């Protein structure tokens, strides 16, 4: 292997082999972190940090000027496209392939007590600051403050959040599966490129997407009203339909990536073998391909469910009147510094995110 060759030439396995091989993944990870930071709204709004996302939100709602908000969004969209192009270019320039099918397991490195302690401490830093301390603070607020607020209201908000997240997860999983199957078995290079473009919505901040979704939904509703002759008729605006549409645009990449990774693990001749045995295309999908993709579809749906449960800016801008999710419910209390009231719904979001992760880990263990 490359690591053994590095040892023969007295080179560092980490600096000479490991780090160059990991460079594409590191680049993709950095780009993903940058996109998440640019898209963040709740944190920067709470700490009063002026960002592009917060500026769009304030101009739209604070100044009631959606035109100016759209202009700011256009500037941000150009920046996001530049970031996507840079990430794709970096990954395309750093591709590695192995010329041998034989693989050997790497020998574990045996560290002394000091090295083991250092590794454990470094690995515990994200867990400590990203989970243990925040959850501990939330638990403290919940235990000291008791069930502050209306328990029925929190239960209603939880039910609405689960319903909307479940509907969005189901729709996105179905759409993603259709796109992946069409691009893989019925499409050429052009359709595959279109599928990739359709999955770039995850890189765009929610406040920017909300403007485009709102304009599109308004056009659809005006056309629907003109066709029906009822000026009050509405398909998307004023209901959860516009939220589901926004979630589809925003998180379609999550479901698409999960299903695409699943279909790439299938042998290339799987469909051909099924057709040779006398099954038609539809029968092959139903009896062979879809059962093998079921795990990836469930994983994609769970990831979408978690993302929708904690999504804030688009929900704030596009939600119907008198409709709350756990994210917006928590935001309203946190904005007014009512942290004890915000602790319980925030803890529910954490639990909602943990349950799918635990379920997926069990699925992966069964697969292994």
Are residue 359 and residue 223 in the same domain, yes or no?
yes
Measuring CA to CA, which residue among 200, 365, 196, 199 is closest to residue 295? Answer: 365
Tens of pLDDT, residues 26-67: 877 787 788 788 888 988 998 888 888 888 888 988 888 888
Q: Judge whether 333 lies within some domain.
A: yes
Burial 220-245 (b: 16+ CB within 10 A, else e): bbeeeeeeeeeeeebbbeeebbbbbb
pTM listed for this prediction = 0.84
Tens of pLDDT, residues 339-349: 888 999 999 99
From the number of C-beta atoms within 10 Å of its C-beta (0-12, 13-18, 19+), residue 305 rates as buried
- Token duo for residue 10: 């007295």
**Average pLDDT over the chain, rounded to an integer:** 84
Task: Assess contact for 77 and 204: CB atoms under 8 A.
Answer: yes
Q: What is the mean pLDDT of residues 328-348?
A: 91
Are residue 44 and residue 192 in the same domain, yes or no?
no
CA distance between the termini of the chain: 24
Are residue 156 and residue 77 in the same domain, yes or no?
no
Q: Judge whether 296 lies within some domain.
A: yes
Q: Judge whether 117 lies within some domain.
A: no
Total domain count for the chain?
2
Are residue 70 and residue 155 in the same domain, yes or no?
no
Are residue 51 and residue 139 in the same domain, yes or no?
no
What pLDDT score was predicted for residue 246? 94
Between these two residues, 362 and 122, which has the higher pLDDT value? 122
Residue 122 has pLDDT above 60, yes or no: yes
Q: How many CB atoms lie within 10 A of CB 362?
A: 10
Task: Assess contact for 172 and 301: CB atoms under 8 A.
Answer: yes
Last residue of a domain, one of 40, 74, 94: 94
Q: What is the C-alpha separation between 158 and 166, in angstroms, rounded?
A: 12
Are residue 89 and residue 151 in the same domain, yes or no?
no
Last residue of a domain, one of 63, 94, 125: 94
What pLDDT score was predicted for residue 91? 62
Residue 108 has pLDDT above 80, yes or no: no
Are residue 198 and residue 296 in the same domain, yes or no?
yes
Q: Judge whether 110 lies within some domain.
A: no
Q: What is the mean pLDDT of residues 247-260?
A: 91
Are residue 210 and residue 304 in the same domain, yes or no?
yes
Q: What is the C-alpha separation between 44 and 238, in angstroms, rounded?
A: 28
Q: What is the C-alpha separation between 58 and 50, in angstroms, rounded?
A: 10
Q: Judge whether 320 lies within some domain.
A: yes
Helix H or strand E segment including 310 = none
Give CA angle at 301 (253, 37), nearest 5°: 45
Q: Judge whether 125 lies within some domain.
A: no
Q: What is the C-alpha separation between 267 and 155, in angstroms, rounded?
A: 46
Q: What is the mean pLDDT of residues 149-161?
A: 85
Return the CATH number at 262: 1.10.3720.10
Tens of pLDDT, residues 198-253: 778 888 888 889 998 998 998 988 888 888 887 777 778 878 999 999 999 999 98
Q: Judge whether 226 lies within some domain.
A: yes
Helix H or strand E segment including 154 = helix 151-181
Are residue 227 and residue 306 in the same domain, yes or no?
yes
Measuring CA to CA, which residue among 239, 194, 199, 235 is closest to residue 218? Answer: 235
Domain interval for residue 145: 134-368
């Amino acid at each position: 292997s490359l690591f053994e060759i590095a040892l023969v030439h007295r080179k560092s396995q980490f600096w000479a082999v490991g780090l160059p091989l990991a460079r594409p993944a590191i680049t993709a990870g950095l780009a993903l972190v940058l996109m998440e930071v640019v898209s963040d709204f709740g944190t920067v709004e709470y700490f009063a940090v002026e960002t592009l996302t917060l500026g769009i939100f304030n101009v739209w709602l604070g100044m009631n000027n959606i035109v100016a908000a759209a202009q700011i969004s256009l500037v941000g969209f150009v920046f996001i496209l530049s970031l996507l192009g840079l990430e794709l270019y970096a990954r395309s320039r750093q591709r590695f392939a192995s010329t041998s099918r034989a693989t050997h397991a790497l020998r574990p490195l045996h560290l002394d007590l000091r090295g083991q302690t250092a590794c454990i401490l470094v690995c515990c830093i994200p867990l400590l600051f990203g989970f243990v301390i925040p959850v501990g603070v939330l638990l403290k607020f919940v235990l000291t403050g008791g069930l502050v607020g209306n328990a029925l209201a929190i239960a209603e908000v939880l039910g609405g959040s689960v319903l909307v997240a479940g509907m969005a997860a189901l729709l996105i999983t179905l759409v993603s599966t259709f796109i992946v199957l069409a691009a893989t078995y019925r499409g050429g290079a052009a359709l595959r490129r279109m599928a990739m473009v359709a999955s770039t919505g995850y890189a765009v901040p929610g406040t920017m997407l909300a403007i485009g979704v709102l304009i599109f939904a308004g056009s659809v509703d005006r056309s629907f009203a003109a066709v029906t002759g009822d000026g009050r008729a509405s398909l998307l605006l004023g209901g959860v339909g516009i939220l589901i549409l926004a979630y589809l645009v925003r998180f379609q990449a999550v479901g698409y990536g999960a299903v695409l990774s699943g279909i790439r693990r299938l042998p290339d001749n799987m469909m051909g073998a099924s057709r040779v045995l006398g099954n038609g295309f539809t029968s092959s999908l139903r009896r062979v391909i879809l059962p093998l993709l079921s795990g990836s579809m469930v994983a994609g749906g769970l990831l979408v469910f978690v993302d929708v449960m904690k999504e804030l800016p688009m929900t704030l801008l596009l939600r119907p009147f008198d409709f709350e999710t756990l994210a917006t419910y928590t935001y309203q209390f946190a904005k007014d510094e009512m942290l004890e009231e915000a602790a319980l719904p925030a803890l529910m979001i954490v639990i909602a995110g943990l349950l799918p992760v635990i379920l997926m880990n069990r699925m992966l263990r069964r697969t292994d």
